[in-house]
Structure 1
Amino acid sequence: MDFSLTEEQQMIIETARKVGSEFGLEYWAEKDEKKEFPTECWQAICDAGLAGASLPVEFGGSNLGMLEMALIIEELAASGAGATVGQMFMINPIFGGVSVSKFGSPAMQNELLPALADGRLNFCMALTEPDAGTNTLAMKTFASPEGDGWRLNGRKIWITAVDAAQKMLVVARTRKAEEVERPTQGISMFVIDVDREGLSYTPIDKVGTRTLSACSVFFDDVFIRSDELIGTLDNGFKELLHVLNTERVVTTACMVGAGRLAERLAIQYANDRKVFGGRPISAYQGLQFPLAQSHAELKCARLMNLHAAALYDAGHPYASEANTAKLIGSQAATHAIERSMQAMGGMGYAKEFHVERLWRDARLFKFAPISEEMILNFIATHDLGMPKSY
């Protein structure tokens, strides 16, 4: 088992580090304060070829893998962005790139993927519903056949960056739950325009990840054309899981990077801060041990995440590894950021030292895109062979 990175992968990391350094802590603090989408940073990521790293060459990508994407995201997060940068990759290379490249028609791929890779097109994904939450199979949003297409009605919630997107990946029922043998049947995916008659949205005011909005989305007789179906009609649930499990890899990568960034900020502060006889506070084990513990936890999460990404790239099952990495990654990052804030004392609570933003942003990923409790349910049933508990 070879854990070394190739020369190409090292170059990718250096490119991501260079791009990330151009949009440092002050840039992200300003975007957070103004609640603005980081358009300039995302365009620079696209211009450097990083957004399309895993897309096919014929569509403007580099035909690399999920492993390279994880390395890119981690480095961008560690350079100053923190966890928020992972969400930008979720909505575009994952929700847009994975879904369209794996399940889209040739015409859809030719139209959308080059525009995604070069930054002309942003995506969002409408999945979660107010009365369903994690129980995706309980969704009520319904697409009824009409002529050469469908009419979509329903509501979604906590949908990221709708206001910055031109295309939306929508998951809806196309057959009612009581009409199918299994609840996983009767679910389909569509890629539609955000700017479409009958589609509206309202923002949700939230504590963190403020550079990307979260919205409630409403579908009121929205017409969907036949060529906007992506994947298999009525049998899109397995294809949806393929998209969602790659989302786990992206989440873990941004969390590991955010943890690394918090760790670096705490060490810089602790090395400069001198009390009790002029010694830097970093010389005391009371500060060293918590940060060292977090460092070890982050390294373990990173290895599991890269393992999951490598399995995906090799075409092997990877759901268990991706979910495990996400569980440990969110916990490790939370610990690292909390301990970094504690090491900085009162200044860790001050916006000028930036850790408080990392703290606010990271809290989301304890329960999103999947909660710790649901991952533990998955591990208990799929890995340990225990009966389903819910």
Structure 2
Amino acid sequence: MTGLVIDNDEHRLLRESVAKIAAKYGHEYYAERARRGEHIGELWQELGEAGLLGVHLPEEHGGGGAGLTELTIVVEELAAHGIPLLIAVISPAICGSILAAHGSAEMKAEWLPGIADGSRKMAFALTEPDAGSNSHNVATIAREDTDGWVISGGKYYISAADESEALLLVARDGEGAPGGRKPLSLFVVPIDSPGLTLQRIDTELTSPDRQFTVFLDEVRVGPEALIGEAGKGLRQVFAGLNPERILAAALCTGVGRYAVAKARDYACQRQVWSTPIGAHQGIAHPLAESHIAVELARLATMRAAELFDSGRNAAEAANIAKYSAAEAGLKALDQAIQTHGGNGLAREYGLADLWFVIRLMRTAPVSREMVLNFVAQHSLGLPNSY
């Protein structure tokens, strides 16, 4: 299918490279690994060796020296082949971007080459049971002492923690004044640190990237674990949050493309009374609407990535892209399932098992309600609602 997003020659070649690798594995590989509780190590390794995971990271640290636009293409094209990888949004995009922007020279040299080639992974630990969208309300405490830092608290719904070597963790200053907003700091915390434990959260997601609660009981890290400056974490974390939202949007538009393409093929082949069902407007029009919504969301997503790469404020664009893509992707998948009738729920058609993954994107990494709050307050200048 043609689309509204027109790639330049470099982007077209990049998309073709991703598609060639993704086609070797496909949705069945992704879904079977997820059902068996296994990871997608072979695919991840091949993507890393091809330079696709670190395409946006600095060349001096093993990356491709391109931008978020290029990583957006990688994530979308994988999802368009039925492989929506949450870890691709987390390790290279969030953690890689934060480390590239704020990490020390030593930290960059240690972590970025491995993140770029796929040999190392890092999970992002921000969310807490009582501090979902409110980063200011983080309760995990980091106390400085003579040997570094001592961290205590808990994190919730941390994706892919079991397959990562470390957490990029957000904590508040344990010495801050009572009441009001506490300064935040960022740390790289090894998963095997004494006092750190993982507890899996059972979900209905069909994804090789699982969810965890993380418990931190007096976890000690050295001074080198601190990212950037202590107390400057809120500003630093936004180096990862806008990329996270843009890449989440790319994942949604990719699934939307995958769903519409599957439904189109089925509607052309499936016949009732000697007529392809796609000839009926009751089938054709909803699919056309889904295609339009996905293509508009793709434009919004690419625009947000371009703004980010140009160094301009991409917050509004990133939020709008994430909102529109999640809505469009979910609608497209639902309509694809409906087009298939009962077969939409059959495992062999590879649609229904994506529903919870794409439904998650209406809630994470930022809920649709918080996006609407942002747009109402920052875009429209309406009074704050919280």
TM-score (norm: length of structure 2) = 0.96
Match of 2:222 in 1: 225
Match of 1:385 in 2: 381
Q: 5 Å matches for 1:348-359?
A: 348-359=344-355
Structure 1: give runs of 5+ residues left out of the alignment. Answer: none
Kindly, what percent of the aligned residue pairs are identical? Answer: 38
Aligned residue pairs, count = 383
Match of 1:164 in 2: 163
Measured against aligned partners, the alpha-carbon deviations of 1:319-364 in whole angstroms (never above 9, x if no partner) come to 0000001001000000000000000000001111110012121110
Three-state SS of the structure 2 residue aligned to 1:190 is strand
* Alpha-carbon separation, structure 2, partners of 1:179 and 1:238: 21
* Alpha-carbon separation, structure 2, partners of 1:280 and 1:330: 30
Does structure 2 retain, via aligned residues, the 8 Å contact 1:262–1:358?
A: no
Structure 1 residues 226, 347: CA separation in 2 closer, same or farther (over 3 Å shift)?
same
* Alpha-carbon separation, structure 2, partners of 1:335 and 1:3: 20
Does structure 2 retain, via aligned residues, the 8 Å contact 1:187–1:236?
A: yes
Three-state SS of the structure 2 residue aligned to 1:389 is coil
Give the Å deviation of 1:136: 1.8
Three-state SS of the structure 2 residue aligned to 1:132 is coil
Does structure 1 retain, via aligned residues, the 8 Å contact 2:143–2:151?
A: yes
Match of 2:107 in 1: 108
Identify the range of structure 1 (151-160 vs 25-34) with the bigger mean alpha-carbon deviation: 25-34
Three-state SS of the structure 2 residue aligned to 1:153 is strand
* Alpha-carbon separation, structure 2, partners of 1:209 and 1:88: 14
What CA RMSD, in Å, does the superposition of the two structures yield over aligned residues?
1.5
Q: Tell me whether 1:34 sits opposite 2:30 in the alignment.
A: no
Q: Tell me whether 1:256 sits opposite 2:253 in the alignment.
A: yes
1:207 aligned to which of 204, 209, 212: 204
* Alpha-carbon separation, structure 2, partners of 1:151 and 1:367: 32
Structure 2: give runs of 5+ residues left out of the alignment. Answer: none
Q: 5 Å matches for 1:178-197?
A: 178-179=177-178, 183=181, 185-197=182-194
Match of 1:270 in 2: 267
1:296 aligned to which of 284, 292, 299: 292
* Alpha-carbon separation, structure 1, partners of 2:32 and 2:176: 46
Does structure 1 retain, via aligned residues, the 8 Å contact 2:31–2:206?
A: no
Does structure 1 retain, via aligned residues, the 8 Å contact 2:48–2:119?
A: no
Does structure 2 retain, via aligned residues, the 8 Å contact 1:155–1:219?
A: yes
Give the Å deviation of 1:209: 4.3
Match of 2:340 in 1: 344
The one-letter amino acid paired with 2:101 is: K
Does structure 2 retain, via aligned residues, the 8 Å contact 1:36–1:210?
A: no
* Alpha-carbon separation, structure 1, partners of 2:263 and 2:78: 18
Give the Å deviation of 1:218: 0.2
Three-state SS of the structure 2 residue aligned to 1:144 is strand
Give the Å deviation of 1:72: 1.3
The one-letter amino acid paired with 1:62 is: G
Three-state SS of the structure 2 residue aligned to 1:24 is helix
Three-state SS of the structure 1 residue aligned to 2:81 is helix
